[in-house]
Structure 1
């Protein structure tokens, strides 16, 4: 497989997105508000379609301009992050649907899976959806073709300058 050029990816925008997914998912559970889980699913779905973090607009319009979060721009592939957001959308949408259909255990389990995986990424630097993307590359699944940045374990956040 040929090496493809990496793009600039602001990992602070990704992290802000994860923080909002985590916070709103937990609030949805605490206050038993399936509509809030559905809103998170909607934002994740829109973000996937628009090829941006679903809650990234909060980072670009509020957090970054006020200096509350600093950019963390790294050479990376945006495709695995979009794939991870899409998988999260599927789980969150499935969880929301289950909640609205009266299956609380299934619904909240799916919501908490998204919260847990977003937390692993935000606080641990490991993106399970990104790792899944790179596994699909290794299996030669059509549509999955990007390699992780040089010297980066698949799913881990690249180190600054690692791909230089």
Structure 2
């Protein structure tokens, strides 16, 4: 593992994301979806631990919990953040162009994935990443950034 993260932080971030995306669906706020998209972008490009929710977890929540029993590889959750970003971008485009049904479907799909992680610890984006790696083991890691 090149980098490891606290899996409890991922569930915390998923819970916050679930809450934010629920507000997006109730209010129809494309701006709030864009903010969530920026959070996804930070998780995808800088890593989940360096996203706003990850930093909050590390500084405020984790000290109250103590160290985790185990760590997990950061690559699958980073890929999951990229998938979330893609859905957020589609949703923002939907809101901006008047295709609100598209926006709601995209935000709803991201909400469903975040809820699965928050409530059950099942990271759908992580599972997609692992399936990709099983199908294409010789392909480059899709989350690596070229030098």
Query: TM-score, normalised on structure 1?
Result: 0.76
Q: CA deviation at 1:64?
A: 2.7
2-structure distance, mates of 1:123, 1:72? 18
Report the alpha carbon displacement of residue 41 of structure 1 after superposing the two structures with TM.
Answer: 0.5
2:127 partner SS: helix
Distance in 1 of aligned mates of 2:78 and 2:140: 13
Higher relative contact order (CA 8 A, sep 6+): 2
Where does residue 93 of structure 1 map in the other structure? 89
- Cα RMSD of the aligned pairs, angstroms, is 2.0
Q: Secondary structure in 2 aligned to 1:64?
A: helix
Report what 1:110 is aligned to: 106
Corresponding residue to 2:39 among 40, 43, 63 = 43
Residue equivalent to 1:143: 140
Q: Which residue of 2 aligns with 1:63?
A: 61
Q: Give the match's secondary structure for 1:144.
A: coil
Say yes or no: does 1:18 pair with 2:14: yes
**Highest CA radius of gyration, 1 or 2?**
1
Structure 1 residues 73 and 89 mapped into 2: Cα distance closer, same or farther (>3 Å)?
Answer: farther
Which structure has greater helix proportion? 2
TM-score (norm 2): 0.84
Gaps of 5+ in 1: 146-164
Partner deviation per Cα, 1:93-145 (whole Å, 9 max, x = no partner): 11111111111111011001001011111111211111111111111251239
Instruction: Using the TM superposition, give the Cα deviation of residue 7 of structure 1 relative to its aligned residue in structure 2, in angstroms.
Output: 5.1
